[in-house]
Amino acid sequence: MLLSTKNILSTKELTKQDIQQILDTADSFKEISTRSIKKVPTLRGKTIINLFFEPSTRTRTSFEIAGKRLSADVINISGSTSSAVKGENIIDTARNLEAMAPDILVVRHQCSGVPALLSQFVDSPIINAGDGAHEHPSQALLDLLTIRSHRGNLEGLKVAIVGDITHSRVARSNIKAMQTMGMKVRVVGPPPLIPVGLESLGIEVSHNLTTAIEDVDVVMILRIQLERQNQGLLSSLREYSNYFCLTAKALAKARDDILIIHPGPVNRGIEIALDVMESPRSLILNQVTNGVAIRMALFYLLLGEGNANPN
């Protein structure tokens, strides 16, 4: 069975069956990364272009490794080496790359909507690797994979997402994907960092970390950025930490088996305390490992699973 969509632009476009299929496929790919020879010939002869207009280490590397473990040729183009610095229109850049017959474009851009825009001008499937404050679907999928592998299922789980929701594409992708999978989502943060209208999307909003995580199965901590202070959205990181840093104390009334996830990169001690980050409940490194499997699954499914056998 193929996915219901040609591109992965947002989790909003993915059905429950799509998500389940991606997670199942990723599960089956996990093992490849544990072999001594971490490579299968599945996508031999396929070309993947990572087009990253915004700096990224984790996500770009993860997509690159995922492609290479499936034997695809992976080309990385970063914002600074692209024609964008020469003033080339982004659509022209994408069309020029398309003219070299890639099989998938992986796109990251600082502006919301760019992968959707490019999808109207190129025929290759596009994977959104993060666009502005819009979405980062592969991150949400790897988060779900991480949660599912620890809980066995997703339906009915309660999740708290803590931090700067306004600027977070990870939050948006997770909110939609989690709702599709029948999970309950609560967001936690200071009011200036909570975007308007979330309640009407069925999201609970809280400004009290301790009570907001008392009954949840999963707490997701988002990175907080110092620049929000200059925008008048934060008084200081110090005060933010006083109210929203995930500490052992904040976790005192939480479930013992609560799962702690963070999309990274982490500001140690600001949004999450060091000891909590290093505790067994923290799955931050599992997420990164799962990220490779998720991206392998996306490549595999978008390039047509009938074309080859994963093993």
Partner 1 sequence: MQTLIKNGHVIDPANQVDGSFDILISDGKIEAVAPHGKIAIKDTQVVDAKGCVVAPGFCDMHVHFREPGHEYKETIETGSASAAAGGFSTVAVMPNTSPVNDNRSITELILSQARKTGLINIFPIGAITRGLKGEILSDMGELKESGCIGYSDDGRPVMNSELMRRALEYSRMFNLPCIQHSEVLDLTRGGCMNEGVVSTELGLKGMPVEAEDIMVFRDISLLHKTGGRLHVAHISSGGAVELVRQAKAKGLPVTCEVAPHHFTLTEEACRNYDTNTKMSPPLRTNEDIELIKEGLRDGTIDMIATDHAPHNLADKQVEFDNACFGIVGLETALPLTLKLVDEKVITLQKAIDLLTRQPCRVFNLDKGTLGIGKDADIVIFNPETKYVIEPEKFKSRSKNSPYKGWKVRGKVLHTFVAGKPAYSAHNE
Residues that bind partner 1 (CB under 8 A): 12, 89-91, 109, 111-114, 116-117, 131-135, 169, 172, 195-198, 200-201
Q: In the complex, what is the shortest distance from the CB of residue 131 to partner 1, in angstroms, rounded to a whole number?
A: 7
Q: In the complex, what is the shortest distance from the CB of residue 163 to partner 1, in angstroms, rounded to a whole number?
A: 15
Q: In the complex, what is the shortest distance from the CB of residue 17 to partner 1, in angstroms, rounded to a whole number?
A: 22
Is residue 132 within 8 Å of residue 83, measured between CB atoms? no
Q: Which is nearer to partner 1, 70 or 165 (CB)?
A: 165
Q: Which is nearer to partner 1, 88 or 239 (CB)?
A: 88
Amino acid at 277: M
Q: Which is nearer to partner 1, 46 or 109 (CB)?
A: 109
Q: Where are the beta strands (DSSP E) in the chain?
A: 47-52, 73-78, 104-109, 126-131, 158-162, 184-188, 204-206, 218-221, 259-261
Residue 310's alpha-carbon distances to 31, 48, 124, in angstroms, are 11, 17, 22
Q: Is the peptide bond before 125 cis (omega within 30 degrees of 0)?
A: no
Q: Which is nearer to partner 1, 198 or 258 (CB)?
A: 198
Phi and psi based region of residue 156 (left: phi greater than 0; alpha: psi -120 to 50; beta: remaining)? left
Rounded Cα distance between 240 and 163, Å, is 9
Contacts of 204 (CB under 8 A, 6+ apart): 184, 185, 186, 187
Phi and psi based region of residue 294 (left: phi greater than 0; alpha: psi -120 to 50; beta: remaining)? alpha
Q: Which is nearer to partner 1, 75 or 198 (CB)?
A: 198
Q: In the complex, what is the shortest distance from the CB of residue 196 to partner 1, in angstroms, rounded to a whole number?
A: 6
Q: In the complex, what is the shortest distance from the CB of residue 62 to partner 1, in angstroms, rounded to a whole number?
A: 21
Q: Please report which helix (H) or strand (E) contains residue 91, including its range.
A: helix 90-98
The secondary structure of residue 109, as a DSSP letter, is E
Q: Which is nearer to partner 1, 133 or 157 (CB)?
A: 133
Q: In the complex, what is the shortest distance from the CB of residue 82 to partner 1, in angstroms, rounded to a whole number?
A: 14
Residue 273's alpha-carbon distances to 6, 245, 246, 292, in angstroms, are 41, 7, 6, 26
Q: Which is nearer to partner 1, 61 or 78 (CB)?
A: 78
Q: In the complex, what is the shortest distance from the CB of residue 72 to partner 1, in angstroms, rounded to a whole number?
A: 28
| Closest to 26 in 3D by CA, of 173, 154, 141 | 141
